[in-house]
């Protein structure tokens, strides 16, 4: 018998039939003697529908009222799922985030969980009830409803699991685990049995959107045993681990990519102290996140400075840079919003030399020009023209022998 926190995403509870199927599964597991806490998202499409409704009423609705609105999606699902469980003679109780007292800070729209009072849930569990909790929402210290950001139900589930010291947190979704890369691009991609939390963080932040990144950070902090698995098919899913596999660690666990990148270069800036600060300070003041940064070797007292931003911030960053270029007496500003980032990720990289050269050779063999490079302890990323995304990801997946990797 185990205490398990399960989370079902929007697609898993998207219709009454799917809610019934989820209820069947929960009934079965409850019958096996497990204690279950179930966190659910809004039915698929519902959060977007609510967003559209608000847009029709107000161009810039207040963040507080947005949270009141968006939190209703999950409230519908908890009630329906509890009814479906009760129909199966399972004693179930639904609670909103506010009711179970998921206390957050007051940053509406992306609130952070500060504390969970698990007593109420524990009492229900002790009486054999299944507890159904609305994901994505909480309450601030003044009683205002807050939400945790898109995909936030994952974080609710992980936080509940941490608070209850659950044996496992299971995230049920429409894929059966974490893959070596996107199977829509590489049909040979395969499900990983395990992935370390560090790799998972890289894979999520680089665009392999299986879990909300904050939930992975949370899991890492509290070492929550976390598993991603399919709501529709039986299978072991992917376990997120906190220890690196010791023996025969593959160099690379996966190939991640990010389509929505853009790069900007300011050419011929005076090569003097404070230049990087001047440029990036102005960009940061505009709340634009910068990812890769490259400064070239100075020549004739000037240098070129290149960085990447999210594609949606490209125009704004370009305008800022053009203004700066005049102030700094730089030669010119150039930009490209048709680039992508591809990364190879793996903790095994720490103990294997030559990952970067294997990567660069594979790209060269396909005639793909690398525009920028950055590395960390467990990843190597390159920026390439967006037309090479699919080709590049396939070439790297094959070069690191992920196509035929055998699970242990």
Cβ 280 to ligand ASP, closest distance in Å? Answer: 31
Q: Judge whether 339 and 385 are in contact, CB under 8 Å.
A: yes
Q: Judge whether 198 and 377 are in contact, CB under 8 Å.
A: no
**Would you give the distance in Å from CA 38 to the centre of its chain?**
20
Q: Judge whether 374 and 263 are in contact, CB under 8 Å.
A: no
Size of the site for Mg ion (CB under 5 A): 2
Interface with ligand ASP by CB under 6 A: which residues? Answer: 9-10, 41-42, 47, 73, 135-136, 150-153
Cβ 111 to ligand ASP, closest distance in Å? Answer: 12
E-strand ranges in 51-129 read 92-95, 102-104, 113-116
Query: Rounded to an integer, what distance in angstroms lies between the CA atom of residue 113 and that of residue 133?
Result: 15
Residue 9 touching Mg ion (CB under 5 A): yes
- Which of ligand ASP, Mg ion, none does 392 bind, CB closer than 5 to 8 A by kind? none
**How many angstroms separate the Cα of 269 from the Cα of each of 111, 266, 281, 319, 334?**
40, 7, 15, 16, 13
- Which of ligand ASP, Mg ion, none does 35 bind, CB closer than 5 to 8 A by kind? none
**90/216 with CB nearer ligand ASP:** 216
Which of the stretches 5-13, 46-54, 59-67, 309-317 binds Mg ion when contact is defined by CB under 5 A? 5-13
Cβ 210 to ligand ASP, closest distance in Å? Answer: 12
**42/161 with CB nearer ligand ASP:** 42
Nearest partner of 133 among 190, 175, 94, judged by Cα: 94
Cβ 312 to ligand ASP, closest distance in Å? Answer: 18
Query: Rounded to an integer, what distance in angstroms lies between the CA atom of residue 323 and that of residue 314?
Result: 14
- Which of Mg ion, ligand ASP, none does 348 bind, CB closer than 5 to 8 A by kind? none
How many CB atoms are closer than 10 A to CB 235?
11
Which of the stretches 23-31, 107-115, 150-158, 238-246 binds Mg ion when contact is defined by CB under 5 A? 150-158
Residue 73 touching Mg ion (CB under 5 A): no
Residue 138 touching Mg ion (CB under 5 A): no
**Which distant-in-sequence residues (6+ apart) come within 8 Å of 319 by Cβ?**
none
**231/399 with CB nearer Mg ion:** 231
Contact positions vs Mg ion (CB under 5 A): 9, 151
């Amino acid at each position: 018998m185990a205490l398990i926190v399960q989370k079902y995403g929007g697609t898993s509870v998207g219709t009454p039939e799917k809610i019934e199927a989820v209820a069947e599964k929960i009934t079965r597991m409850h019958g096996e003697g497990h204690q279950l806490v179930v966190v659910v998202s809004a039915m698929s499409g519902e959060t977007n529908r609510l967003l559209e409704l608000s847009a029709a009423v107000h161009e810039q609705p207040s963040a507080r009222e947005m949270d009141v609105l968006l939190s209703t999606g999950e409230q519908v699902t908890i009630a329906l799922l509890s009814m479906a469980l009760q129909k199966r003679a399972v004693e179930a109780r639904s609670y909103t985030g506010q009711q179970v007292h998921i206390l957050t800070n007051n940053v509406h729209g992306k609130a952070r969980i500060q504390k969970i009072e698990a007593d109420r849930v524990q009492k229900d569990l002790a009486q054999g009830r299944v507890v159904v909790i609305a994901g994505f929402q909480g309450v601030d210290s003044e009683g205002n409803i807050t939400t945790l950001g898109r995909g936030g139900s994952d974080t609710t589930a992980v936080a509940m699991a941490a608070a209850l010291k659950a044996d496992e947190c299971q995230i049920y979704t429409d894929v059966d685990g974490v893959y070596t890369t996107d199977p829509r691009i590489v049909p040979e991609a395969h499900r990983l049995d395990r992935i370390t939390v560090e790799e998972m963080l890289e894979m999520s932040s680089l665009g392999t959107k299986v879990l909300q990144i904050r939930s992975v950070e949370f899991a890492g902090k509290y070492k929550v045993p976390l598993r991603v698995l399919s709501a529709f098919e039986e299978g072991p899913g992917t376990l997120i681990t906190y220890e690196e596999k010791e023996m025969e660690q593959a160099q690379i666990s996966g190939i991640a990519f990010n389509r929505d990148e853009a790069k900007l270069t300011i050419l011929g800036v005076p090569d003097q102290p404070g230049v990087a600060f001047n440029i990036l300070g102005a960009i940061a003041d505009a709340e634009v996140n910068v990812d890769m940064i490259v400064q070239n070797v100075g020549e004739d007292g000037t240098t070129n400075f290149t960085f990447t931003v999210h594609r949606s911030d490209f125009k704004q960053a370009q305008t800022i840079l053009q203004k700066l270029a005049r102030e700094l007496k730089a030669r010119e500003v150039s930009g490209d919003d048709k680039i992508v980032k591809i990364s190879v990720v793996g903790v095994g990289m720490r103990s294997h030399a030559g990952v970067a050269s294997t990567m660069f050779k594979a790209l060269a063999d396909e005639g793909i020009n690398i525009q920028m490079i950055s590395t960390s302890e467990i990843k190597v990323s390159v920026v390439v023209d967006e037309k090479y995304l699919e080709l590049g990801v396939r070439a790297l997946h094959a070069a690191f022998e992920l196509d035929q990797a055998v699970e242990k």
